[in-house]
Structure 1
Amino acid sequence: MKFLYKSMYSALLMGAMGLNATAQQQLPNSGFEEEWVNCIPWTSNGNSKDIGSTPSGWCISQVIGVSGFGKTEVGFKTEGYNSATAVELKNSPNSLLSTQTVPGYITLGKTWSTSVMGNKNDGGSFGGIEFSGRPESLEFMYKHTGTDGEKATVVAYLWKGHWTQKAVPGNIVSFGSPKTANMVDRDRCVLGLDMSSSLGGAVTPSDDAELIAVINVEIEDETTTISEDNNGWKKFSAKFDYKSDATPEMINVVLAAGNYFGGATAVKQGTSLIVDDVKLVYPTKPETHEGYINIYCKDLNPDDPEGTLAKNSAATIEIIPTGENTCTFKLPNFALGDGDGAMQLGDIVVENVTVTEKDGVKTFSGVTKDLKLMSDMILADVTIKGTITGDVADMTIDVIWTNSPLNEEGTPIYVTFTTNPVTSGITDITVDNSNAPVEFYNLQGVRVNADNLTPGIYVRRQGSQVSKVLVK
């Protein structure tokens, strides 16, 4: 069965995907630079007249009125963000009844509206395009001007199966009753919103109908908006709220200048939204490097066996991109010591690490404060510096214990990570741990008297062997 909302464009899009169903699918014409076509608003009585234009792959909520009377444009082509084209959406007065406000919005589905001489108003979006990805978030560039503080709305959702609502009035009339139609995948139905103030009959979901993920936010929400000082443009970003592990079949995105779900009386004339570069963002896979760590408690001296807690222990680091010039650094399962006797401290994680690149060499620099280690019993300040050239990584990680009232300078642990093992100038000397003196430290890194230990947890060190001791 072919549903009326499935455009030829979406069919071509999926065809181009071929067998690569797991590809990171993007939205069509995301920068609105491709062809703009005549906009022919969908109506339940089969409208064939056009009004204004709309970017290919999208549908602006232009209104055709009653046989062309009261037709109103609410979306226009305008200058983009570092490009020639963006979309301007504007809540506009109806050309016939100026007291009536036509909401400006754009969608991947079909727009629709109904009214009886300014009363019994309803509308929105239904359908979408075929889609099987699982993006992490939605982002775009925008400018917004709200009349009386009206906020814009961003709605995006993924689903499978279908919801069919019977007898939805789908055209505008000056008197009498609009023609009704069965509407498949109306936005409110898919999202499970309250239908008490909406027009139409009963809603029937298919057996496999399932809402998988949703974004439904006001664009001025500070938790989802990043300001950029760039000629008034700002960057919007919001994460999808996933409700299911199922694979989506459809996606719809609605970008509205004003209060999209508020009803006809909520939208304010003059409120406008300009949008450009609408993109889906997918989780970034970490860049992993296998190599070796060396741990020193005095200084970075591989020739000092007493100061070396671990020598060329196999390890892996992760570089997780978080922006154009930032990343998160992770050294999983960091342990103090070597071998079976090592004391597990946990993951070393440094966020917002600065990344610069020159001549093929990436340079990393970052700091984190009060990192919790060893089940929150240790607080540490961590500094990482290093480079990655191709597949070769060279990092230094300074771990300074800070929760020490007796040692204000903290207890340093110096760690190096290298792709290739560290070689020492002394190769024929081994450490006999059995003859090395035993030392005890509290969790603040302060050396304590072994003959006068109070109940608690201590770090025991003998040569290069480190372990955790519980004194009762």
Structure 2
Amino acid sequence: MKSLYATLISSMLISPLCFNVFAQQQLPNADFEGEWVDCMPWTFYQDEDSLGKVSKFIIGKNPAGWNVSNVSGMVSFYNGAASGLGATQVGDSVGGFNSNAAIQLVNTPNPFMDAQIVPGYISLGTAWSTANPTFDLTTFNLIVTKSDGGSWGGMNFTERPVGLEFMYKRSRGEDKPDEKSTVVAYLWKGHWTQKDVPAIVYMAGSPVSVDMVDRDRCVLGMDMTGCQGGEVTKTDDAELIAVLKAEITENTDEWTKFSGKFEYYSDATPEMINVIIAAGDYFGGASVVGKGNALVVDDVKLIYADDTQSQNYPGYLNVEMMGGQIADNQPSTIVITPTGDGKCTFLLPDLTLNLGGSEMALGDIKVEDVTMTEANGITTYAGEVKGLTLTGGIIADVNLNGTITAAGEVNMKIDVMWNSVPINVTFTSSTSAI
């Protein structure tokens, strides 16, 4: 019996099925430290049956599991060989957040037509773009019309995360410095199909069209006015389950945390997920894309309800009031409870003052809706509460400021104003105060 029990336990530990029961699904290669593979833009694949050949034009690299919006330009053939006129790379590997690799996305001009700026974005789905180029024989200029693009498809996925986080740096070029950066993530089941979407751009003639399954705009139920492609149909079970849409507008040359929450429309179990992170205004169209606008992204992580559990930090209290030291490196604990959207609740339980040899219990110092800002591995906390009711009917105002490092080093300054009397409270993870 003991041998059978050991065998069953071993099977549970190594079984992929059992592992999936306990592990919440995450995104592939989310720290970008894994393999980077050749990027072959989807618009450059040729139909072997119609053209008698298959072309695979490589533009830069993708982090495995993701697709960068590099483009191959216009297809042309010479002596049976295919080439791409105006091929443009918009994504590359750079140093990461305390790591070797992150993805840098830059809106980049087409080398053949400087006025055509290729938007830089990364997606779990397939990145695509199209246009209808024609030559003006009177001016010998290339005119591009009917441009469109985005992402279609995604990754198989059956979880219900509450949010998405990643680290980023952001900069703007001189062209359109007010262009926002975009974060879009969505969960769905079933499928949407759009007929006759232009997919492969040739130097002469109309682009080749395909039926596109689960185009981003179709799944999200967006207005298709001005978009390329034909009729949209969907399967009977097609359902948009949750969406996260957010903007990043502040530039920073330090690593900063993005945090956003999904809005759920349904209790259904998802079948697919797509995450799109863009250096610029993803749905804004070609006219808003700013040359040189860049976003560096690392450590993309889905957040689940369990990730918002409280975190206890043991340390030491120092309290000064009316020129006297009321608490001197008194052992204590604070509790941080994340509440989403870069917010948390701060709790200092059972604050007790030593007044003239007698103890006075004030109760809990609780500050809700505290702002959390992360940069370079340090989280900064700021919040306040007016009219906090303490033990014995005491009413006080509290102002909180402090930091916690990734290693758990805590420095908190908790200013309490009681009946016009300031109480200066500091909490640290070591016996040395702020």
TM over 0.5: yes
Matching residue within 196, 201, 205 for 1:172: 201
Corresponding letter in the other structure for 2:38: N
Q: Secondary structure at the match of 1:200?
A: coil
Aligned amino acid, residue 232 of structure 1? E
Q: 1:94 to 1:233 in 2, by over 3 A?
A: same
Q: Give the 3-state SS of the residue equivalent to 1:85 in structure 2.
A: strand
Is 1:72 matched up with 2:88?
A: yes
In structure 2, the residue matched to 1:370 is 387
Q: Any stretches of 5+ residues in structure 2 without a counterpart?
A: 1-14, 48-54, 76-82, 134-143, 313-333, 350-363, 371-382, 399-415, 421-434
Contact 1:350/1:382 (<8 A) preserved: no
1:50 aligns with 2:41: no
Q: Over aligned residues, Cα RMSD in angstroms?
A: 3.6
Partner of 1:60: 68
- List per-residue Cα deviations over 1:84-129 (Å, max 9, x = no partner): 1111111111122222111111000100111121221111000110
Q: Which residue of 2 aligns with 1:104?
A: 120
Output the CA distance in 1 between the equivalents of 2:249 and 2:93: 23
Distance 1:120 1:372, change over 3 A: farther
Cα distance in 2 for partners of 1:22, 1:121 equals 45
Give me the whole-angstrom Cα distance separating, in 1, the residues matched to 2:199 and 2:263: 31
Matches within 5 A, 1:230-245: 232-245=254-267
Q: Deviations over 1:232-260 (max 9, x none)?
A: 22211111111112111111011111111
Return the index of the structure with the highest Cα Rg: 1
Question: What secondary structure sits across from 2:42 in the alignment?
Answer: coil
Residues 251-281 of structure 1 show CA distances to partners (whole Å, capped at 9, x for unaligned) of 1011111111111111111111111111111
Asked if 2 retains the 8 angstrom alpha-carbon contact of 1:285 and 1:320, the reply is: no
Question: Aligned runs of 1:148-163 on 2, under 5 Å?
Answer: 148=176, 149-163=178-192
Instruction: Tell me if structure 2 keeps the 8 A contact 1:139–1:281.
Output: yes
- Quote the Cα distance in structure 2 between the aligned partners of 1:276 and 1:60: 14
Q: Indicate the residue corresponding to 1:85 in structure 2.
A: 101
- State the 1:327 CA deviation: 5.3
Note closer, same or farther for the CA distance 1:18–1:263 as it changes in structure 2 (3 Å cut).
farther
Cα distance in structure 2, aligned partners of 1:246 and 1:330: 39
Shift of 1:49: 2.0
Alpha-carbon shift at residue 379 of structure 1 (Å): 9.7
**Alignment CA distance shift 1:178-1:243 (3 Å):** same
Structure-1 separation of matches of 2:181 and 2:238: 29
Q: 1:368 to 1:83 in 2, by over 3 A?
A: same
* Amino-acid identity (%): 52
Matches within 5 A, 1:59-458: 59-65=67-73, 66=75, 67-117=83-133, 118-147=144-173, 148=176, 149-220=178-249, 232-283=254-305, 284=307, 286=309, 321-322=337-338, 350-351=367-368, 369-370=386-387
- Displacement, 1:23? 3.6
Letter in 2 for 1:195: M
| SS state at 2:297 partner | strand
Amino acid at match of 1:33: E
Is the CA contact (8 Å cut-off) linking 1:258 and 1:267 kept in structure 2?
yes
> Secondary structure in 2 aligned to 1:197?
coil
Q: Relative to structure 1, is the Cα distance of residues 143 and 16 closer, same or farther in structure 2, using a 3 angstrom cutoff?
A: farther
Q: 2: distance between equivalents of 1:177 and 1:16?
A: 48
Relative to structure 1, the CA distance from residue 29 to residue 288 in structure 2 (aligned partners, 3 Å threshold; closer, same or farther) is closer
Q: Is the 8 A contact 2:389 2:396 kept in 1?
A: no
Q: Distance in 1 between matches of 2:128 and 2:291?
A: 19
What is the deviation of 1:285?
Answer: 6.1
How far off its partner does 1:369 sit?
A: 4.1
Counterpart AA for 1:72: T
Provide, for residues 179-210 of structure 1, a one-character-per-residue CA deviation record: whole Å limited to 9, x for no partner: 11111110000111110111001111211111
CA distances 1:30-74 after superposition (whole Å, capped 9, x unpaired): 111101000011126455221111100000011112232211111
C-alpha contact 1:367 1:381 (8 A) present in aligned 2: no
Separation of aligned partners in 2, 1:381 and 1:280: 38
Task: Answer yes or no: is the 8 Å Cα contact 1:21–1:132 preserved in 2.
Answer: no
Higher RCO (C-alpha under 8 Å, 6+ residues apart): 2
Q: TM-score, normalised by structure 2?
A: 0.63
Structure 1 residue 146: Cα displacement: 2.2
Distance in 2 (alpha carbons) for counterparts of 1:208 and 1:109: 20
Aligned residues: 309
Alpha-carbon distance in 2 for matches of 1:176, 1:280: 44
Structure 1 residues 164 and 369: alpha-carbon distance in aligned structure 2, compared to 1, 3 A threshold: same
The answer to whether the 8 Å contact 1:32/1:55 transfers is yes
Counterpart code for 2:67? C
CA separation of 1:269/1:184 partners in 2, compared to 1, >3 Å: closer, same or farther?
same
Q: How far 1:16 moved relative to its partner?
A: 5.0
Q: CA deviation at 1:382?
A: 9.7
Larger % of strand: which?
2
Counterpart CA distance in 2 for 1:259 and 1:287 is 35
What amino acid sits opposite 1:30 in the alignment? A
CA offsets 1:296-315 (integer angstroms, 9 cap, x no match): xxxxxxxxxxxxxxxxxxxx
Partners in 1 of 2:235 and 2:388 — Cα distance? Answer: 49
